[in-house]
Structure 1
């Protein structure tokens, strides 16, 4: 009986979690749409009943937001749209308090999602949280110019993000000497799957073979 229950759980659990995540995302998008429609109904009283009726249509908020994102992307992809985007950024950077939040979020989103960004481009091994214990981390760049001279012996340092498991959206930011890292041949996607699964889902053989040469048993870490 236990064997059959576990077999059934393994079939339905991934599907249930996938549906739950999608439901949460779609619910959030519908909530944003409902807020916008509610505000529009107050601004345009003659159209209030018609606008409030739109909130009752399932999935309309998701469709509208996707179309809005697509239209915005098309708009900012040309010279005229780029000019307006620069004006908007300049305006947001003049508003106290708002400018700190906006600029920080924009820098992170540009780094993560822009094709020119360099976040999470490489997976490496690093000793953490103590000597002899190794974990997978992602190279996010180099320390800031003000910080780099204060890091000690003058060796080259890199900035790392060490994700927690099974939730990689939280983690730790470290600055360590590059000589203490050991590169991995696995892709960032494969490394994330390995972390999220707590090591249960191993990278494929093609990714594991090159990484084995730089495993922790190697007495000479790369520089």
Structure 2
């Protein structure tokens, strides 16, 4: 009986969690869309309130609208006029006292994480943490900068060490490159390895697999 219950749990648990996460994301986007519609009622004539209320009841419409808005924004930002308008908007936001601190910090992080030319989360490595002889997987986020970079003038790397099984929290380390072992596994494979607490190990690279066979 226990064997069959565990087997059934292994079948349904990943599917249930996937559905739950997707449902949460859809609910969040629909809620944001409904908030925008409610805010627009304050500036639109009363005759438009009825159709807006009907739009709130359409499931999944928020996702379609948000994805469309992101695509249109991307198209706008990719041309010369859009880039000029965004620069002017950035200048304006950086002149507002409290807003500029929040906006500039978030923009720096997002530009680093999502830029195709950035180094953030492009490579998985092994590093000794939290003590010598104990190893964990970390992600290279670049090199130390600012005042820390002035003190660490040698070949240092900035690393993010995620926690298990929740990789959204973790620790920031600055360590010498010589103390880091580069891994051939992709970032996605490393994340799966971390989230599964070492249960789902990525396959060996072709070179290592061949070496083990001949060794």
TM-score range normalised by the length of the shorter chain: over 0.9
Task: Report matched runs for 1:184-195 at 5 Å.
Answer: 184-195=183-194
Q: Contact (CA 8 Å) 1:123, 1:139: kept in 2 or not? A: yes
Higher helix residue share: 2
Structure 1 CA distance for aligned equivalents of residues 118 and 91 of structure 2: 21
Structure 2 CA distance for aligned equivalents of residues 3 and 80 of structure 1: 63
Q: CA deviation at 1:184?
A: 1.1
2:179 maps to 180
1:48 maps to 49
TM-score by length of 1: 0.89
Structure 1 CA distance for aligned equivalents of residues 62 and 150 of structure 2: 50
TM-score by length of 2: 0.92
Structure 1 CA distance for aligned equivalents of residues 186 and 40 of structure 2: 46
Task: Report matched runs for 1:126-141 at 5 Å.
Answer: 126-141=127-142
Q: CA deviation at 1:115?
A: 1.1
Task: Report matched runs for 1:31-180 at 5 Å.
Answer: 31-46=31-46, 47-151=48-152, 155-180=154-179
1:113-141 alpha-carbon deviations (Å, 9 max, x no partner): 12112101111111101111110111111
Q: CA deviation at 1:181?
A: 0.9
1:167-195 alpha-carbon deviations (Å, 9 max, x no partner): 11110001111111111121111111111
How many residue pairs match? The answer is 210
Other structure's SS at 2:174 match: strand
Structure 1 CA distance for aligned equivalents of residues 202 and 22 of structure 2: 26
Q: CA deviation at 1:162?
A: 0.2
Q: Which sections of structure 2, spanning at least 5 residues, go unmatched?
A: none
Q: Contact (CA 8 Å) 1:160, 1:174: kept in 2 or not? A: yes
Structure 2 CA distance for aligned equivalents of residues 205 and 69 of structure 1: 38
1:18 maps to 18
1:221 maps to none
Find runs of 4+ consecutive structure 1 residues off by over 6 angstroms.
none
Q: 1:130 to 1:95 in 2, by over 3 A?
A: same
1:217 maps to none
RMSD of aligned C-alpha atoms?
Answer: 1.8
